[in-house]
Amino acid sequence: MLLGCIGDDFTGSSDLANTLAKQGMRCVQYTGVPGGPAVAHVQAGVVALKTRSIPPDEAITQSLAALEWLLAQGCAQIFFKYCSTFDSTADGNIGPVAEALADALQARSVIVCPAFPGTGRSIYQGHLFVNDVLLNESGMQNHPLTPMTDPDIRRVLAAQSTGQVGHVDAATVLSGASAIRAQLEAEGAAGKRLIVVDALQDSDLIEIGAAAKGLKLVTGGSGVALGLPANFGIDAQNRAEWSGEDGSYVILSGSCSHATRGQIAHHLRTHAGMEITAEMLFKGGATPQDVADWALKTEGLPLVYSSAAPDVVATAQRTYGRKESAQAFEKFFADVARICTASGVRKLLTAGGETSGAVVEGLGLLQLEIGPEIDPGVPALRAGDGLVLALKSGNFGSVDYFEKAARVLSGAAR
């Protein structure tokens, strides 16, 4: 294995694996730290954790365990993947985990770049934009678990870290890989180990990736990975054929992002849906079996969703507790997924990082084969014979994403 990757959630890990596979790397996504060695042909391994919203010390412990396994597979470089909206918790898991990995690897200059302009995330003068608005105006300020109210990544990271935070500005990035590398080394020499790097277009990510050649640790969104395979002498090549699956679908959505709520509204115009509220979970208004039975008998693309507007989510959290509400929904969706797949569902779509992680863990899926891209950052995945999935981060996908994903999981063109 050449490149070892640690993801802080399942959808982000799929996004990263998709990026690497499109650039020609033979890539496998693992659910948690594997218990045995990787097969010999794997060039990039992505260990998908569920550490974004847990206490920092637990996130560090799990991430270091993943690092140990990846180094044992012979990895020459480590990539720590977090969300392109840079969200973790108020205490911050990104800074603590990045510093712990850097300590373990004795890394001095560490790139911090959540940007992926192709999916609307860019960094200018250290500030993160989502399309044409600052992060704190994008809807992320209302995220139910990891709200983001400050768009200055340097400031957010400094609050999570023990050391000073460096910066490579847009003008330097536009000058190319050599200039970027020189500035990284200068910032590292000045004692600034975690270094935020601007990126305005996907071509910037290629240059940043080239500048990362030989670095022990790189961190960021999946976009930075665009330029990493070339550092190992790997050229983009044709993807393996994708056959898809026949049979029924079920869509499970726990994401409350603006993008996902728009996708749900679009989907419900022509397809059946069932909304699950916190009151239903805590007062016994619906059981996983009831919901699974509804989905199994509903034709087309049945959608089960808890996605709601920020004020509705806030009311539920005040009533039932933020952590308690999140855990209840995650367990509920995992139970529904288990019942549906046990009853013959072969195509499963999920929306939301926490929801996707809960479903993958609930189904006991240990590794996922990367298939074709559905939308930027969202690949189709095969969990073995008879089950294919699409795990979508809340903010990703076009408005008709669910129908598009269903076509790809069936083996049709996007």
Residue 381 CA to residue 21 CA, distance in Å, equals 12
Token pair listed for 255? 């994401």
Residue 98 CA to residue 64 CA, distance in Å, equals 10
Cβ neighbours of residue 14 closer than 8 Å, sequence gap 6 or more: 29, 48, 356, 368, 370, 378, 379, 381, 391
Distance from chain centroid for Cα 100: 20
Report the pLDDT value the prediction gives residue 204, as an integer from 0 to 100: 96
Query: Is the model's pLDDT at 238 over the cut of 70?
Result: no
Q: What pLDDT digit, counting tens, does each position of 261-309 carry?
A: 999 999 999 999 999 999 999 998 889 999 999 999 999 999 999 999 8
pLDDT band at 144 (very low <50, low <70, confident <90, very high): low
133-134: strand order across its sheet: 121-124, 127-130, 133-134
Query: Is the model's pLDDT at 214 over the cut of 80?
Result: yes
When pLDDT is averaged across residues 356-363 and rounded to a whole number, the result is 92
Q: Which residue has the tokens 């529904």?
A: 336
Q: What residues pair up with 81 in beta bridges, in sequence order? A: 7, 220
Nearest Cα to Cα of residue 85 among 177, 159, 153, 165 = 153
Report the pLDDT value the prediction gives residue 348, as an integer from 0 to 100: 97
Q: What pLDDT digit, counting tens, does each position of 155-197 carry?
A: 999 999 999 999 999 999 999 999 999 999 999 999 999 999 9
CA dist 396 → 257, 352, 353, 370 (Å): 9, 9, 11, 17
Query: Is the model's pLDDT at 338 over the cut of 70?
Result: yes
Query: Is the model's pLDDT at 15 over the cut of 90?
Result: no
The dihedrals phi and psi of 114, each to the nearest 5 degrees, come to -75, 0
Report the pLDDT value the prediction gives residue 119, as an integer from 0 to 100: 81
Token pair listed for 31? 């659910």
Q: Give me the chain's average pLDDT, please.
A: 92
pLDDT band at 239 (very low <50, low <70, confident <90, very high): low
Report the pLDDT value the prediction gives residue 215, as an integer from 0 to 100: 97
Cβ atoms of 333 and 348 closer than 8 Å = no
Domains of the chain in start order, with CATH, are 3-232 (3.40.50.10840), 249-409 (3.40.980.20)
Instruction: Write down the pTM of the prediction.
Output: 0.78
Report the pLDDT value the prediction gives residue 302, as an integer from 0 to 100: 97
Residue 187 CA to residue 112 CA, distance in Å, equals 13
Residues in the chain, overall count: 414
Indicate left, alpha or beta for 28 from its phi (over 0: left) and psi (-120 to 50: alpha). Answer: beta
On the 0-12 / 13-18 / 19+ scale of CB atoms within 10 A, 144 is: buried
CA dist 28 → 217, 273, 367 (Å): 20, 33, 7
Residue 366 CA to residue 364 CA, distance in Å, equals 6
CA dist 291 → 304, 333, 337, 351 (Å): 8, 10, 10, 17
Q: What pLDDT digit, counting tens, does each position of 53-102 carry?
A: 889 999 999 999 999 999 999 999 999 999 877 877 667 899 999 999 99
Comparing 177 with 135, the larger pLDDT belongs to 177
Report the pLDDT value the prediction gives residue 41, as an integer from 0 to 100: 86
Comparing 304 with 40, the larger pLDDT belongs to 304
Report the pLDDT value the prediction gives residue 160, as an integer from 0 to 100: 92
Query: Is the model's pLDDT at 148 over the cut of 80?
Result: no
* Extended strands (E) in 76-231: 77-81, 110-113, 121-124, 127-130, 133-134, 165-168, 194-197, 217-220
pLDDT band at 137 (very low <50, low <70, confident <90, very high): confident
What 3-state class would DSSP assign to 108? coil
Report the pLDDT value the prediction gives residue 414, as an integer from 0 to 100: 63
CA dist 265 → 269, 279, 293, 414 (Å): 7, 21, 23, 21
